[in-house]
Each structure stands twice: as C-alpha cells, then as structure tokens.
Amino acid sequence: MRILKFGGKSLGNGQGIKNVISIVQSKYKHEEAIALVVSARGDSTDWLGSMLERARKMKDYQKDFVAFKDYQCAPSLGWNYDGIFEQIASILERTKLLGCYNQATKDLLLAQGEILSALVVSRLLNDNGVPTQFVDSRHFFITDDLFGSANIYDELSRCLTKRYFEFFPQGVVPVVTGFLASTGSHVTTTLGRNGSNYSASLLAKYLGVKGVESYTDVDGIFTADPNVDTDAQLIPKLTFEEAEIIAKSGAGILHEKTIQPLKDGKIPLHILNSFNLNSTGTLIEARCLNKIIQDE
C-alpha cells in the first residue's frame, strides 16, 4: 500500500480538486493499493479560525459563514452537509454569546474542515469510478489533551489503527481525515498546524506501507523560498536527518513531527506538486547522495 496525502491548496475548488481526482483515478486504474489522507480544502482552516475570532469579539460572521458553506458545497450542489454546518454554527453562536472559547472548542471547530474535505473527496471519487470510504482518524489516533498540538499515544494508536484497517473492504480506497485525533474520552484534538503530514506519516508507519506521496502546490523543497530568491533550486533528494533539520526550522511544507514515524519504518516520502506532475519533486529517504544541508 502507498499513502497519498493531499494538502489544502491541492484540494481547492477548480483545477486543484480536478487534478486530485485525476491522480487518484490513475493510481486506482493501475491497480495500486492506496489510502488517502486529506487536509481541509483551500483556506478552510484559516477561514474557520477567522470566524471563531470574529465570534469571540462579538462581531458579525454570517457573511463569511455563508461564503464558507458555498465553497464547501461547490464541487456538487446536490450533497447535504447540514449536520456539519449546524455544528459549526452552534460553536460560533455559543462563542459569540460568551465572548470567549477554549482550545478544545477551537479544535472541534477546525476538525469540521477536515471532515468536510474527506467527505467531498470520497464522494467525488465514488462518482468518478473509484470506490472509497470516508474514514475519521479520531477512531484510532489517540492523544493527550494538549489541545491545538496534541501528543500521540503511539502504541495504543498503532494497535487501534491496525485493528481498524484489518477488515477494511478490499478494493475500496480509504479517505482519511488529516490533522485529527481524540483523547481517550473521545474529545476531539488536533495534531498542530500542517498536522495532516504528520497524520499521513503515522498511518504509514502503523500500516507498514511502501511509501508516502505528499501532494502540494509547489514542486518540492528548495534551497530557499523560490518566491523570494530567484536563485533557489529544487532539492531532488534528502535524507531523513536533513529533512528533520528543515522541518524544525519552521518550513511550512513539513510538520516538525512528520519525519520520525517514517524514519522508524524506513518509509520514503516523496513531495510532489499536484499542479505540475512533470516535476520530479523531492524524495526523502534513509540515504541519498545529496550534500546540500551538510555543506552549509
């Protein structure tokens, strides 16, 4: 099996989500065993956080809420997500009434972006000839109650993950929520910003997969920010150790905890651009000849 992780920009309305459907169709057509891990689509996480802040300040957020609903429903206007939107509305209304919220409330609100994304992607793929099943990672990723950046209980989560997928329907592609987990008492937690990358690497480790392909909106990891430095070059290969240095330096493309589970399982990570499949991307694995990080 191979894990395909799709970032928010890759899953955005329009060409983004069309590319994702095409990529998965191609993998499925060639009989590759895959599982998907998806982030919230577009800027949904920021959108939800912004509405929560407006509610805390007792400001009107209804215009943003309507726009958010329209965006989520755009891929197919015939689908009904009323239950999720009602939960979002309830959290925002309560926050506006009280003028405050705690981190657990924020985690529950942000979780809805990931849930909507996995539902949309799953249904689109089903409509396009790829049988899928929505999977809520809160069923098997168990953490402490450090809301906003929870710590995974590794052995418990491993056992629950393996048990969950042991009898998963053959030939059906799991579409797994990224970023989400829960406490032992079933309270929603999140794994931190860019945590869907971490979700994918945990799933890869627990299931013992061949590799992870992480699709984003850039060609891979560069020697500098290509938007700022015109001389920035794509780094074709990195070791796990080099990638850890980059992740811990705050590079948004990698959650700082992403690498360790892959390193434990010796599972390669290939960062690719879903908008430019001609790019070879950046391959992260146990050993490579690249010396860029060491020579600096």
SS3 content of the chain, % helix, strand, coil (to 5): 45, 15, 40
On the question of pLDDT at 70 being above 70, the answer is yes
Tokens standing for residue 27: 């993998």
On the question of pLDDT at 43 being above 80, the answer is yes
In the chain, what are the domains? Answer: 2-40+113-295 (3.40.1160.10)
pLDDT tens across 236-293, in order? Answer: 999 999 998 888 776 667 778 999 999 999 999 999 999 999 999 999 998 754 454 4
Give the separation between CA 24 and CA 37, rounded to whole angstroms.
Answer: 12
pLDDT tens across 73-112, in order? Answer: 999 877 899 999 999 999 999 999 999 999 999 999 999 9
pTM of the entire structure? Answer: 0.93
**Which is it for strands 34-38 and 132-135: parallel, antiparallel or unpaired?**
unpaired
